[in-house]
Amino acid sequence: MISALNMQFGIKGQLEFVEDAPVKGTPPDTRPAGGLGAASGLVVAEINNAQGCASLCLQGAHLMNWQPKSQAVPVVWLSRDARLAAGKSIRGGAPVCWPWFGAHATESGFPGHGFARTVPWRVIESGTEPDGATRLTLRLETSDKTRVQWPHDCNLDLTVIAGNTLRMELATENTGATDFVIGEALHTYFQIGDIGQVRVTGLDGCAYWDKVGGSNLRRQEGGISFSGETDRVYINTGAACVIHDDELNRRIHIAKSGSLSTVVWTPWDEKAAKMGDLGQPDGWREMLCVESANAIDNLVKVVAGTRHTMIVEYRVESI
């Protein structure tokens, strides 16, 4: 399988498919023994071009790393406790949440954030952009199991373009005769210096559902800084956001289209301890999720025969 993939979609000196690859840009001493290097049978696309590197697991179309050459540490965070395992989501990176975000509206037995992040995807295209960035498109594989949870005719494609910037395009095509409604998110974990010192701007004045201690509708005033568990779904906003990180001397710019929700999440100590896979004891301090989404008030109706695309683009500015 690997050699066939490399023959059809590999790009010499730029894109290679490997089994259970350790993530480039992650120092060897932070990799768990028996973790990413253990044999799970999963395949990872390793991108390494003149502008930077990225890794994408074919299961879940799960981006695990992105690090432009300008940066000494990755921009996308992957937990030290991340494991590659068939049917399990990887902690960190950029999970694809689809076709619903959070809990399913009516079926408590269906997986949180949908099934797209835990099922196989297949490669359908690869190439080099005019500026030298590497492009890779994956398509979700449907199965009897996915059809039980989502009985609609559709294609879900993720295109990743990795270079100095990272662009991800999540396209839902309704190939059937009836309309359907989706929720979705590119649930990106960003690597930060320390959660206590970063600030997020871009959401001033936005309404948000505050999921900590119930579900209350509030309004953001000014920038966001963090001193406890934060789990918010900002609604009706297509605005770009910036993560200001003085410790890592950088600003991460997050621009998007086709997305009207932005989720900001940090678990803080108690929830992180309960989750247990965030890199004990304090890996959670080095990550922050700013997720481009369509959730709650912003679910998307995909009319029969049409396509809806959510696009995010990340750029890093050194300061």
Tell me the catalytic residues. Answer: 187, 291
Residues 209-228 that bind ligand BG6 (CB under 6 A): 211
Could you say which DSSP state residue 23 is in? P
- Nearer to ligand BG6 by Cβ, of 49 and 292: the residue is 292
Task: Choose, by CB under 6 A, the member of 80, 187, 256, 285 that binds ligand BG6.
Answer: 187
112 is an interface residue for ligand BG6 by CB under 6 A: yes
Does residue 113 belong to the site contacting ligand BG6 (CB under 6 A)? Answer: yes
CB 21 within 8 A of CB 14: no
CB 49 within 8 A of CB 163: yes
Number of residues that bind ligand BG6 (CB under 6 A): 9
Minimal distance, residue 267 CB to ligand BG6, in Å? 7
Q: C-beta of 282: minimal distance to ligand BG6 in Å?
A: 18
Residue 135's SS3 state is strand
Is 60 or 74 the residue whose CB approaches ligand BG6 more closely? 60
In the block, residue with structure tokens 């309404």: 207
Cβ atoms 182, 172 nearer than 8 A: yes
Residue 53 or 140: the one with the smaller Cβ distance to ligand BG6 is: 140
The DSSP bridge pattern shows strands 224-225 and 62-68 to be unpaired
Instruction: Tell whether residue 184 is a contact of ligand BG6 (CB under 6 A).
Output: no
Measured distance CA(142)–CA(156) in Å, rounded? 10
Q: x-or-dash pattern for ligand BG6, window 251-270, by CB under 6 A?
A: ------------x-x-----
Q: Are residues 260 and 294 in contact, defined by beta-carbon separation less than 8 angstroms?
A: yes
Burial state string for 181-202 with b = 16 or more CB within 10 A and e = fewer than 16: ebbbbbbbbbbbbebeebebeb
Query: Which residues of this chain interact with ligand BG6, rule CB under 6 A?
Result: 89, 112-113, 187, 211, 231, 263, 265, 291
